[in-house]
Amino acid sequence: MRKPYFKTAPNDPPPLTGTVKREIRFQEVDMLTIAWHGHYTSYFEDVRVAMGHRYNIGYMDFYNNGILAPVKTVHVDFIRPLRFQDEISIEGRLHYSDAARLNSEYIIRNAENRVAATGYVIQMMLNTDYELFLTQPPFLREFCDRWKAGML
């Protein structure tokens, strides 16, 4: 990646990471035979879901703790096209934050391990009445405490 999307403070733990591999399907390409730009966020989501399972912070983990985690911001930098049947790997990095949000960045690489796209997603925390949490809710705070203590 050219430069990280999120700054880290000196005492922040390293990002949590995950990688998934998949193939570009026929339904994902446009008439120019390249992956349609709107699918890149679903590629990000593939690794986000895998990391949620791995670290027990998936959407249902949040929901079962009275937290909704809607997307606030999505950003994608397209570097080189992906084509039908390309084998890709999607790397996700969840960055530590003391705020009531999730900051994750993504790198999509083609079969030659060349970067095809990078991007980031910011998710906010809402309660089940759709009110914004101004501080981390207990579930997220406990998770971040374990993360900072090296227990993940």
In a domain, 104, yes or no: yes
- The mean pLDDT of 27-54, rounded to a whole number, is 97
In a domain, 67, yes or no: yes
Amino acid in position 92: G
- The mean pLDDT of 127-135, rounded to a whole number, is 97
pTM confidence score? 0.94
Listing DSSP states for 98-151 in one string gives: SSSEEEEEEEEE-TTS-EEEEEEEEEE-EETTSPBPSS--HHHHHHHHHHHTT-
Kindly indicate the confidence band of residue 11, based on its pLDDT and cuts at 50, 70 and 90: very high
- The reported pLDDT for the residue numbered 123 is 98
Strand partners, 122: 73, 103
Residue 61 backbone dihedrals phi, psi, to 5 degrees: -60, -45
Determine the structural domain holding residue 91 and report its residue range.
16-148
- The mean pLDDT of 118-137, rounded to a whole number, is 98
Q: Which residue, 108, 16, 126, is CA-closest to 71?
A: 126
Residue pLDDT, tens place only, 140-150:
999 999 999 99
Residue 133 backbone dihedrals phi, psi, to 5 degrees: -75, 130
- The reported pLDDT for the residue numbered 3 is 81
Q: Tell whether the model's pLDDT for residue 34 goes beyond 90.
A: yes
Instruction: Give the chain's domain count.
Output: 1
Question: Which CATH number belongs to the domain containing residue 110 in this structure?
Answer: 3.10.129.10
In a domain, 60, yes or no: yes
In a domain, 7, yes or no: no
- The reported pLDDT for the residue numbered 119 is 98
Percent of the chain with pLDDT over 70: 99
In a domain, 75, yes or no: yes
In a domain, 25, yes or no: yes
Structure tokens at 124: 């906010």
User: In a 10 Å sphere around its CB, with 0-12 CB exposed, 13-18 middle and 19+ buried, how is residue 70 labelled?
Assistant: exposed
